[in-house]
Structure 1
Amino acid sequence: MKKIIASPLAPKAVGPYSQAVEANGALYVSGQLPVDGATGAMAGDIAAQTRQSLTNLGHILAEAGYGFGDVVKTTVLLQHISDFAAMNAVYAEFFTERMPARICFEVAALPMGALVEIDAVAVR
């Protein structure tokens, strides 16, 4: 059975997708752009954008009763791979133990001109 998850604290989906879907004991969280759910604003630098993307991810995890410790896999999309170290420093503030598997790569462009987008899979 599939359950749709939506946090009022994270930005609403802007297309035909859900913030997250829970199925068979796993939570699949769509890519989170660095948009503040309350204001619609996007911060300027990679550190602030990474922090906002992960904060949005945290809101969605919490809405479904999960936490960062339940995340088993993330994908990080970067506008510029040269931002890897700055992104990684902020990422390490959110994932402090039992690190998830991760892939990170540079993409040609991200929606709204974002510098980063992060998705996740969590399992209880």
Structure 2
Amino acid sequence: MEKQVINPWQWQDKRSYVQAVEIKQAAGTLYCSGQTAIDADGQSSNADMKTQVIQALENLEKVISDAGYECSGIARLNVYTTSSAEFLDCFDVFQDWIAKHGIKQALTLLEVKSLFETLKIEFEATVVK
């Protein structure tokens, strides 16, 4: 796979994303459903935003790994949250996870009215290898 990052500016670097990602000669593409803070038994978390971010990222990582892909192959990441302010208060957790995996992804952050049950955050990824 060839992956090229397109960044006409530098300001997005502080926010842990890129403006565009071009993928050539991918061996496969994985489209992940939105991953949230739901445990292995299907129980939704009612924890605070930071705890839910951690669990949702762990769930995303598990889906990607179990499919035989790597998180570094994330090319597109959509983030849905019930509170942008709460998410930004724990944005360092997200940035640390991105840095840990060396991810350079196109990103969209959307604040939504609600998510399933008590959930506050959802990560939806497109991964290539």
Point out the structure with max Rg over C-alpha: 2
TM normalised by structure 2 equals: 0.71
Query: 1:19 — aligned with what?
Result: none
Shift of 1:87: 4.2
2:67 aligned with 1:64: yes
Give every structure 1 segment of 4 or more consecutive aligned residues whose post-TM-superposition deviation is greater than 3 Å.
none
1:112 to 97, 117, 129: 117
How many residue pairs end up in the alignment?
101
**1:122: which partner in 2?**
127
Range moving further from structure 2, 90-99 or 56-65: 90-99
User: What is the Cα deviation at residue 93 of structure 1?
Assistant: 2.1
In the alignment, the residues of structure 1 paired with residue 59 and residue 103 of structure 2 have an alpha-carbon distance, to the nearest angstrom, of: 20
Point out where structure 1 has 5 or more consecutive residues left out of the alignment. 1-23
> SS at the partner of 2:34?
strand
1:79 aligns with 2:91: no
Q: Deviations over 1:10-68 (max 9, x none)?
A: xxxxxxxxxxxxxx710000001111215725151111101111100011001111121
CA distance in structure 1 between the aligned counterparts of 2:42 and 2:67, rounded to whole angstroms: 23
Fraction of identical pairs, as percent:
26
- The separation in 1 between residues aligned to 2:58 and 2:103, in whole angstroms, is 19
5+ residue gaps, structure 2? 1-26
If asked which structure has higher relative contact order (CA below 8 Å, sep 6+), I would say 2
Question: What one-letter code is carried by the residue in structure 1 that aligns with 2:89?
Answer: A
Equivalent pair of 2:71/2:103 in contact (CA under 8 Å):
no
